[in-house]
Structure 1
Amino acid sequence: MAAHDEVPFPWDLGVFDAHCHPTDTMTSIASIPRMKARTLTVMATRGEDQDLVLQVASELGTARKTDQAAQNASRQQGKEEIGRVLPCFGWHPWFSHQILDDISSASGEFQRQENGDNDDTDPKRAKIAHYKKVLTPSADDEGFFLSLPDPKPLSTLISETRERLNAHPYALVGEIGLDRAFRLPNPWMQEELEGRDASLTPGSREGRKLSPYRVQATHQRAVFRAQLRLAGELRRAVSVHSVQAHGAVFEVLQELWKGHERKVPSRRERRRRGSAAGAHELSDAEDETTHRADAESSNPATREPLVSTTSLEPLPFPPRICMHSYSGPAEPIKQFLRPSIPSDVYFSFSSVINFTNPSADKVVEVIKTLPDDRILIESDLHCAGQQMDELLEQIARTICQLRDWDLHEGVERLAENWRRFVFG
């Protein structure tokens, strides 16, 4: 058999980028129709790009559909047609400090106290009070705080995101998540502003030096949790950013899953249903041991199905989750894949993030450990075009080699995984 890199890449089978940011470079958008990739799953992250993602999806993605019955019939018949862009709307943890939590009671009480101590008619005082609360370390750096955007209420963010999601019936929620490592960049210096690349969408770091400030973990969680709940309400999948926070992400999800866990039948119960007809009876001790092993298995056959994804009934958690550019070790993956968890959790990988740092050996083990049906590929690139195609081909070939998949079989499998992640 020819080596993987000698086999022509089967673009005709359909290649789907599970996570990318081409709206960070709007001048590259015109190249999307000429790309070899079938569909780009395009993330919004902050105030400056929400409408850009909406605009690009309206031009290159699925047209708005208002007939819910027609949408459900289309899904059931497997006729989903997304177009070249699948939009995702969400607020990234790097920008979570720009959100004022007016949803949780604790935050509301803080705001009332602060507004009692300060003149609540003075927007500057209110802005400083907000940033002093959500940023760490604590400081009285009023100049820095005032250089930041005016905070947006979390309730407003959720309302706006709901409106955008409703405008695109297959849109996802993303990029959202938690990040313990990032620090806010320093304010722009005049000379930096004069020399910045005008082709880049504003709002990102763009090489600025970093300040000492981070966003409080509790605040990040509040913004993350609210967006997860919205995804559950509309039964949309989510794309999750997690840096040094895989345990914290799982804890937040576990809060939302509580009371909704799938029932995992024991091996004896499955035999009684005919799944192992003719097998001999196990002793109680043997059955208990087998049941514990099954509970750690990711085999979908051991899971009780979640309600149909075409149902209109809201959920308190997203039905499907992608841990994008997963950088954690293999062992914690087991907790995300327990058969009792009511969300289907996928893991996507990119050459840019996963294979350009010292943790590349770790990701090899992760990719080899995952079930076949939970792997996705992504570019995580800020610019559409040939480089994005090249990165997608590179990561697809790498995963096929690591999984010992035939290239055609592997590309077909990755495409089907993406469709299942998006549509259920």
Structure 2
Amino acid sequence: MCNPNDDQSASAAPEQNDVHPDDFPWHIGVCDAHCHPTDTMSSIASIGSMRARALTIMATRSQDQDLVASSAAKNPIRDRSVLGSPAKQDTPDKIVPAFGWHPWFSHQLYDDTEASTPGPSSSPETAEQHKTEHYRAVLSPQPDDAFIASLPDPIPLSTFIADTRQRVLDAGTALVGEVGLDKAFRLPWPWGKRDAAGTAAEHTAEADADANAPPSRDETLTPGGREGRTLSPHHVKMAQQMRVLRAQLRLAGELGVAVSIHGVQAHGVLFDALAALWKGHEREVVSRKKQKMVATGAEDFSSSSEDEGEEGWGDDGGNDVPSRPKVKEKKAYKPKPFPPRVCLHSFSGSPQMMQQYLNPAIPVETFFSFSTAINLSTAGGESRFADVVRACPDDRLLVESDLHCAGQEMDRVLEDISRRVCAIKGWPLEEGLARIRRNYEEFIFG
């Protein structure tokens, strides 16, 4: 999702002058690795006419889980082979759903997996007490009674995980996401409420901004988002975010599906959270010296996953051309405590942080997606962008829009980010788009 200081209902990339729709090779297959069009349900009807080949639509909170499921059921992508075919008018197979609980809303779940964690009883008084105790435990600074009253009743984490498991299984092709950690986000004030600064006699900048907050929500938008409200001082404690994140990562490992991950000002903590799950499952990395000591063809000392078979290159006719990988022969998936593949969406870390995820001993394939809406939204982000894209391995790079409304604007920003990364990588457009599409296929299907 977008920067917490932006209106998440109206995220948009900066206007660019280098987009030329008439000469862009859409027929190669442009795949959006991360977006939120169910935040504006009226835009879903436009997906069929979009030029993008695939949209990976994220769920983030209670209000959009069913919306993502129903949208995908009408436009599902079941097979990786369709991604190489051009998108046509009203193409029915365009959506890969992702079901998850975003860190911005992680306070709305309570961990009932520990025997020592009491849940609400049937008594209204006890349920209200449980709600108050939960929010005071997971939010900092502790909110007052009025703020707590504006929040929804917390949901058991076990119930959410069970529901998500079923949604992923029902979808056939699906991800877990959007999940993650965020140290920057603060909860918005409730509708119709303002911080005390907004009513104080002194006119601070924050008070002036608060006074201009929208008086009521836009009914055309899916409930639950920020939608322009000013931010309170309250944030979700990192321990609570970690509990929710770990449960979802373990679910993805159980089901063998990929995960789309949000990380803001938490790159080190996020890496440590993943590393704790794969500890003890690291791949054996054989030195080049040892490899040279083995007779040619005697044994393959590559660090490929134990679940992968052999992979070759060539087209479907057997010609020796670098078009796309042949279909892998895979063993039956064995559940693990960590996901097989993750994508760090709108990756904002440094090249050095990227290298941590690329250690060959790590048993998780990590992809990195980029968007103009996030990566190029600030001067600092734009100044780092080229170096990070260059550092990204060619076979781990994805593109995304991260927009909250489907249609022409989503196509436009996908074209823009695709052109930018291809230029930085020195790829001709058709070659670059083919690479990125193959990466997307690998991320989704393995």
Q: TM-score, normalised by structure 1?
A: 0.84
Query: Residue 345 of structure 1 aligns to a residue in which SS?
Result: strand
1:270–1:276 Cα contact (<8 Å) kept: no
How far apart in 2 are the matches of 1:47 and 1:301?
Answer: 46
1:93 match: 103
Pairing 1:334-345 to 2, within 5 Å after superposition: 334-345=355-366
Q: 1:127 aligns with which of 128, 131, 141?
A: 131
The alignment-based identity, stated in percent, is: 49
Query: Residue 263 of structure 2 aligns to a residue in which SS?
Result: strand
Q: 2:35 aligns with which of 11, 17, 20?
A: 20
How far apart in 2 are the matches of 1:148 and 1:375?
Answer: 38
Q: Check if 1:260 corresponds to 2:267.
A: no
Displacement of 1:374 in angstroms is 0.6
Q: 2:165 aligns with which of 157, 162, 165?
A: 162
How far apart in 1 are the matches of 2:286 and 2:44?
Answer: 49
The worse-fitting range, judged by mean Cα deviation, of 183-192 and 231-240 is 183-192
1:293 match: none
2:209 match: none
Displacement of 1:120 in angstroms is 8.5
1:21–1:383 Cα contact (<8 Å) kept: yes
Give the structure with the higher percent helix.
1
Pairing 1:29-108 to 2, within 5 Å after superposition: 29-62=44-77, 83-103=93-113, 105=114, 108=115
The worse-fitting range, judged by mean Cα deviation, of 353-362 and 28-37 is 353-362
Q: Check if 1:171 corresponds to 2:174.
A: yes
Q: 1:274 to 1:227 in 2, by over 3 A?
A: same
**Gap regions ≥5 residues in structure 2:** 1-17, 85-91, 195-212, 309-329
1:297 match: none
Displacement of 1:80 in angstroms is 7.9
Q: Check if 1:200 corresponds to 2:249.
A: no
Cα deviations by residue, 1:280-326 (Å, 9 ceiling, x for unpaired) = xxxxxxxxxxxxxxxxxxxx985233314662321110000000000
1:329–1:363 Cα contact (<8 Å) kept: no
Displacement of 1:5 in angstroms is 6.3
Amino acid at match of 1:393: E
Amino acid at match of 2:417: I
Amino acid at match of 1:421: F
Q: 1:33 to 1:80 in 2, by over 3 A?
A: closer
1:330–1:362 Cα contact (<8 Å) kept: no
1:291 match: none
2:344 match: 323
**Gap regions ≥5 residues in structure 1:** 64-73, 278-299
Q: Check if 1:187 corresponds to 2:197.
A: no
Amino acid at match of 2:116: E
Amino acid at match of 1:9: F
Q: 1:409 to 1:62 in 2, by over 3 A?
A: closer
2:375 match: 354
Displacement of 1:356 in angstroms is 1.6
How far apart in 1 are the matches of 2:261 and 2:429?
Answer: 28
Q: 1:132 to 1:227 in 2, by over 3 A?
A: same
How far apart in 1 are the matches of 2:297 and 2:163?
Answer: 50
Q: 2:415 aligns with which of 358, 374, 393?
A: 393
The worse-fitting range, judged by mean Cα deviation, of 54-63 and 373-382 is 54-63
1:216 match: 237
Q: 1:120 to 1:129 in 2, by over 3 A?
A: farther
Query: Residue 376 of structure 1 aligns to a residue in which SS?
Result: strand
Q: Check if 1:306 corresponds to 2:284.
A: no
Q: Check if 1:146 corresponds to 2:149.
A: yes
Query: Residue 331 of structure 1 aligns to a residue in which SS?
Result: helix
1:120–1:126 Cα contact (<8 Å) kept: no
Amino acid at match of 1:346: F
Displacement of 1:196 in angstroms is 2.4
Q: 2:116 aligns with which of 109, 114, 118?
A: 109
Q: TM-score, normalised by structure 2?
A: 0.80
Cα deviations by residue, 1:124-175 (Å, 9 ceiling, x for unpaired) = 1110000001001135x01111110100000001000001000012100000
Q: 1:128 to 1:56 in 2, by over 3 A?
A: same
2:354 match: 333
Pairing 1:268-287 to 2, within 5 Å after superposition: 268-274=289-295
